Chain A
């Protein structure tokens, strides 16, 4: 019984310490997900948080400027001006219409300064549910019944 209690105390200390470390780690690295339409409504402390925003790159909006690349990210008809200031070259998938995920902060003038950027070609490999592949025949089940 005594050993069991000792083990309990040891376990408690370990779990407690690790929880503290987890808390610190979470505070350090947390990123808030927001939709583009939510960004103008942010105020106070939440404006200074690290944000993560997803959308589609507006066709024709990409401008290569010195030191940064500007473009407009669209989601449900709303746009967000983004400046990518990261050091990594842009991924090849980053082009007009691509799905794009940016992480960074909002500046007071409403521009989003992104440090990291990920892009994925729209509907290249697999369509989202309910969406047919553009310019490709849709797939129908080869259920044995439907052919006979």
Chain B
């Protein structure tokens, strides 16, 4: 069993080479049998990777400490749940996990379009297999998780060795969220490979029309949804586990996950210009390319030790491989583009500054500037060393100064964009569409300032948030009113009907609203407070409206760790409101300790209490309390974003009978509707698959 995975990976590697070579031959000869054979090789590669991954899971669950990777990342007392997180807690395992998730996407894409689009799919298969080949090379020859332990014996002969117990999992990773955060984020990362492969295939194959855009839309949205959720789960993990009171530190690893998200978000918006108006073809292809390259770059950044980071993997020589692959990938993108750029000519030009098109252009510009800023900030030490010979790093003030105004501008566009008409918007319609939402925003800001709000950005954020929320609500209201008038049903069920008829558009609005919640949550940071104190039983600390009374300390022994716990009685206005139990844990298997933060979270604020350690002077426990307003809004916003994306992925439904009238002429469907007008058809029929 030890070697099973190793063999499977080797076979997958060989078959991936066949899938590429056979695929290229299939493209050149167009022989159906060869096309089929290359595709089947693609399936087999995926199946073999699953087997290899399954065998690693088996090794972990059977505590096989003869395997180096298992011995280093697990131990007997590790709870089963965390054996999963141990799987991807190290370099080798996480790279195999990458291959595993990618193979699920590849299999789904090859399977979903088997026998369809014969002009396009062979190219797609080649691109996908090439990406897989790179990761399989790493899995097989550079960072294999299937290495056995050995000890040199007499005469230099190696003997297989085994350990009685493993080194254990880093305590920071022994937290439920660490079981789901990496899979979710990696699903985002790997998912962007699919749109990349289709874009590349369409470009090389000069596939006519915007078909590849339609085909990849849902794949991009799935990847984007995972990426968004993954980033937020990571932020939540940092918040709940690392115990520094914050959720985002502009750490290189965080930045690595944010960059492809930014370009992916830009892509999701700018494809609409290509679909509707045949514009931005070059731009879109490059956005997909860039997103994929940033995914590989991010994976590289976390593993190469190029920039130091708290949670990066240790330095290793694997970076060279990634640099090599990046160079190959960039060259492939450039060559494919230069050879086929005439294929990407635009049908239309920008007509007016006040139009849907220009709002998308600004949205894209801003997202890209944000991405460049994050990238240059992350690579500042490397860049400054190359240019000036001294290594200089920049901290959060750099990132915040650039990205806060960008976030505000994006929020503004989120409100404005959907209400602008394609091509050109008249002043009259501007006034009609924006009058009330803008008034709502201004009123909200005035009320806030009157109540004592003095922070510029927070006030602006509030104004824009009210503005966007109002525009979103009014979009639903206007559409629902039309349906309600036609069908006589109430506004709520009309709004639901409206959403189901054009899920993409209304799901998009839900996502926008989710982002508003996230931004409101982030703006709360401006009012964070914290206080640190050495405390003994009986002492008290006041923070905001709360007073923390330390009652006692106790300790606890678990199989996997021992812990010390403080019992804190929290009172507010003289009344005891809750008990909090911040903990420190000590993990004997790797001689590390971790902190369990006690968080009491409400919509208004989080009371976040950390048992920070013992004071070096007095040996008294140090309690660090934070009062962080509005943090919960971020997680709620993330949930809304995910729900909105799921909504947008649902196929459109058409209501009984009224459909044919409602799609034409009604204002609610005029602007961003993607639904082509169709002849009346039977109830609840679906659009053709390709269009979703």
Contacts and interface: CB of A to CB of B under 8 A. Distances in A.
Contacts of A101: 308
Contacts of A141: 144, 147
A128 to B, nearest CB: 5
Contacts of B369: 14-15, 18
Contact of B397 (A7, A10, A29, A34): A29
A24 interface: yes
A15 B405 CA distance: 11
A91 B616 CA distance: 11
A88 interface: yes
B316 A129 contact: yes
Given A52-B393, A137-B151, A10 B362 contact: yes
Contact of A33 (B351, B392, B532, B613): B392
B68 A139 contact: yes
A122 B91 CA distance: 17
A144 B308 CA distance: 36
B314 A127 contact: yes
B615 interface: yes
A59 interface: no
A58 to B, nearest CB: 17
B395 interface: yes
Contacts of A30: 380, 392-395, 398
Interface residues of A, number: 56
Nearest to B71: A136
A15 B370 CA distance: 10
Contact of A29 (B6, B149, B167, B396): B396
B313 A126 contact: yes
B90 A126 contact: yes
Which of B2, B380, B616 has the largest count of A CB atoms less than 10 A from its CB? B616
B592 A124 contact: yes
B622 A125 contact: no
A21 B3 CA distance: 55
B390 interface: yes
A118 interface: yes
Chain A interface, DSSP helix/strand/loop, else mixed:
mixed
Given A10-B353, A140-B147, A144-B7, A92 B613 contact: yes
B406 A18 contact: yes
B400 A25 contact: yes
Contacts of B163: 136-137
Given A31-B392, A137-B149, A142 B2 contact: yes
A142 B146 contact: yes
Contacts of B144: 141-143
Interface string B155-185: 0001001010001001000000000000000
Interface string A1-41: 10110110011001101100110111011111110000000
A18 B405 contact: yes
A4 B349 contact: yes
A76 interface: no
B614 interface: yes
Contact of B590 (A31, A87, A124, A127): A124
A40 to B, nearest CB: 16
Contacts of B148: 139-140, 142
A64 B617 contact: yes
B353 A121 contact: no
B33 interface: no
B3 A29 contact: no
A93 interface: yes
A49 to B, nearest CB: 9
Interface in A69-108: 69, 87-93, 101
Contacts of B485: none
B455 interface: no
A89 B616 CA distance: 8
Interface in B356-398: 358, 361-362, 365-366, 369, 373, 376-377, 380-381, 390-398
A67 B406 CA distance: 41
A147 B317 CA distance: 26
Contacts of A7: 350, 353, 358, 361
A66 interface: yes
Interface in B71-87: 71-72
A45 interface: no
B592 A33 contact: no
A69 B593 contact: no
A119 to B, nearest CB: 11
B344 to A, nearest CB: 18
Contacts of A137: 149-151, 161, 163
A21 B161 contact: no
B402 A32 contact: no
Contacts of A127: 314
B399 interface: yes
B401 interface: yes
B397 A28 contact: yes
Contacts of A89: 612-616, 622
Which of B7, B170, B612 has the largest count of A CB atoms less than 10 A from its CB? B612
Given A89-B612, A142-B148, A143-B6, A3 B352 contact: yes
B366 A14 contact: yes
B540 interface: no
Given A89-B613, A140-B148, A142-B6, A22 B373 contact: yes
Closest 6 CB pairs of A and B: A139-B68, A33-B391, A25-B401, A89-B613, A25-B398, A29-B395
23 contacts: A3-B349, A3-B353, A14-B409, A15-B365, A22-B373, A25-B397, A26-B398, A28-B397, A29-B396, A30-B395, A31-B394, A32-B390, A33-B391, A88-B612, A89-B612, A89-B615, A121-B591, A124-B590, A136-B167, A140-B147, A142-B2, A142-B67, A143-B6
